[in-house]
Amino acid sequence: MDELATLARIVDLRRLPTLPVIDLEAAHDSREGQLVSLLLAGAARTQVQATKALYGQATSTNVVALKRLKSRVQNKLLNHLYFLDHSNPLSFVSRRYQMACLDLLHKGTALSGEGEFILSIRLLRRCLTEAQAGEFTPYAVQSARLLATLYAQLNKAAAYRQMDLILQQSLRVQQLEDQAERVFNSMYLLLSGPVKDRRALLPQMPACLKQLEALHRQAKTFNTFSFLYRLRMALEELNGNFAEIIRLTGAAARQFSQGKLNARRFDVRYNTFMRVVAYLGGRQLAPGLRLAQEGIHLFAPTSSNWFFFQEYHLLLALHQKKYDYARQLLDTVAQNPAIVKLRPTGLERWELYRGYINFVAPQAQPVVPTPPAKWAAMLPEYSRDKSGQNVAILVLQLLYHLRQRNFDEALVRLERLRKYEQRHLRDHSLRRSRLFLRLLRALADTGFDPAKARKRGLATLETLTTTPPPGDAFGEAEIIPYEHLWELVLHQLQAAKG
């Protein structure tokens, strides 16, 4: 009881006169709560809207009052971050253990500052145990360093020497992990850059992998494993070596099930996602779709990862010609309220998928058909910031004009594709896109006659069928495989011809 009494005295003496949080259960009892309610309801998208809702009029005095209110609310909401619930099993697996370390470290540090060494040591030792179990080396270093200091101040020589050994060992491991992190981050910056940077990255990757392998052999921690594993996956994805990704992800899953990878750190979601990506790229569509159907439960529907995973789920369905199922997936995504949180580029991708699904599996004819000029304006436009999707966008535009038998506009899109090919599709890895564009030109050269175009394109189609998809570094998205699109175009032209 003495320790509890001491803790009660510290809190009573040092507590703030007003709790720096907002009572969200009684939101309407204060101006701060009212602002939070407006924000959660989406009724305060602009400063003017918020000012009018809270103060009646958007006068200069009220605008200043709102700015002060916003500052207070932001600070109090930030304080709520100390009390978030991290127990959701669909969250990143390591987060709950990492936050537990931070919580114990914060409390132990605060108590040591108040001179309450006994309880501080107890909390810091728990932090050290949690950090070691989760292989959170930075927190192990911080807790061990503070514990060593406290043992020295308390003149506990044996405990100090023991803790100093732990500290020195943790520092050596942290140095190795820091080196591995720097190597990985330098590569990751280029991996997330433009195609030109990713292309230049390939020759550097083997040397970086060897460096990470050497660091992992020395450290033997989950952190060095993770950096090495993720960079290996990135290299194989860039090269289009999807069979190796399937092998790597399978090996990691087996290691995890055998207890050889830290259960507090290994991200089953990432492993499942990469396996789905590899199945799609490697054209192993049936097992890929099964895994996507099984794996979607690993992701919280409110997370951006859920939407990203569903993109590959959708593509696997489209590549298997399961168009009705793909439309169901599209509707599920569209009905998810969290879709508003997606970035504009993410929303544009989903609209592109919708365009392709509407082309390959048109819905029942609407009572009032959309005028051609209007639906043409609704199609996405290509631009520099849509790297990897511009061919898909231009092709989609062309396909819709072909369906409408608007051949003059189709020829305009073919010319755009020809110019885009000359500027951006020169690399050998983009051969599939070039071959498909050759088929489309054959269609135009034969006056859009499906029978003549099919005959002229036989050799090109055969080459396209045997050409594997490129790696992620250079690929143009095939939302529908080019072979399938070619057959659909010919079929629709033939049907229209009668």
Q: According to the model, what pLDDT value does residue 350 have?
A: 93
Q: According to the model, what pLDDT value does residue 375 have?
A: 45
User: Is residue 173 domain-resident?
Assistant: no
The token pair that represents 364 in the structure block: 């029942």
Worst-scoring range by mean pLDDT, 10-24, 182-196, 349-363, 401-415? Answer: 10-24
* Residue span of the structural domain in which 12 resides: 2-83
Average pLDDT, the chain: 87
Q: According to the model, what pLDDT value does residue 403 have?
A: 85
Neighbours of 445 (CB within 10 A): 12
Residue ending a domain, among 36, 68, 83, is 83
Q: According to the model, what pLDDT value does residue 182 have?
A: 96
Residue ending a domain, among 55, 83, 111, is 83
Q: According to the model, what pLDDT value does residue 372 have?
A: 44
- How sure is the predictor about 50, in pLDDT bands with cuts at 50, 70 and 90? confident
Q: According to the model, what pLDDT value does residue 3 have?
A: 73
CA–CA dist 329, 312 (Å, integer): 11
The token pair that represents 244 in the structure block: 């190796």
Q: According to the model, what pLDDT value does residue 316 have?
A: 96
Closest to 211 in 3D by CA, of 179, 245, 248, 242: 179
- How sure is the predictor about 385, in pLDDT bands with cuts at 50, 70 and 90? very low
pLDDT, one tens digit per residue, over 449-474 is 989 999 999 999 999 999 887 765 44
Decide if pLDDT at 330 tops 80.
yes
Query: What distance, in Å, lies between the first and last C-alpha atoms of the chain?
Result: 92
Counting residues of the chain whose pLDDT is more than 70, the rounded percentage is 90
Beta carbons of 454 and 439 less than 8 angstroms apart:
no
Decide if pLDDT at 366 tops 60.
no
Worst-scoring range by mean pLDDT, 56-65, 149-158, 243-252? Answer: 56-65
Max mean pLDDT among 87-101, 136-150, 384-398 falls in 136-150
Whole-model pTM: value is: 0.83
Three-class SS string for 94-128? Answer: CHHHHHHHHHHHHHHHHHHHCCCHHHHHHHHHHHH
Q: According to the model, what pLDDT value does residue 369 have?
A: 45
User: Is residue 122 domain-resident?
Assistant: no
Decide if pLDDT at 131 tops 90.
yes
User: Is residue 231 domain-resident?
Assistant: no
Number of domains in the chain: 2
Beta carbons of 310 and 296 less than 8 angstroms apart:
yes
Beta carbons of 482 and 435 less than 8 angstroms apart:
yes
User: Is residue 307 domain-resident?
Assistant: no
- How sure is the predictor about 368, in pLDDT bands with cuts at 50, 70 and 90? very low
Decide if pLDDT at 289 tops 60.
yes
Worst-scoring range by mean pLDDT, 281-295, 379-393, 394-408? Answer: 379-393
CA–CA dist 307, 313 (Å, integer): 10
CA–CA dist 148, 168 (Å, integer): 11
User: Is residue 389 domain-resident?
Assistant: yes
Residue ending a domain, among 49, 83, 117, is 83
Decide if pLDDT at 335 tops 90.
yes
User: Is residue 410 domain-resident?
Assistant: yes
User: Is residue 90 domain-resident?
Assistant: no
Name 208's Cβ contacts closer than 8 Å, sequence gap at least 6: 183, 186, 187, 231
- How sure is the predictor about 133, in pLDDT bands with cuts at 50, 70 and 90? very high
Q: According to the model, what pLDDT value does residue 471 have?
A: 60
Beta carbons of 142 and 154 less than 8 angstroms apart:
no
pLDDT, one tens digit per residue, over 75-117 is 888 888 888 878 877 778 899 999 999 999 999 999 999 889 9
Decide if pLDDT at 178 tops 90.
yes
Q: According to the model, what pLDDT value does residue 364 have?
A: 55
Decide if pLDDT at 285 tops 90.
yes
Q: Where are the alpha helices (DSSP H) in 154-283?
A: 157-191, 195-201, 205-219, 222-239, 242-257, 268-281
User: Is residue 375 domain-resident?
Assistant: yes
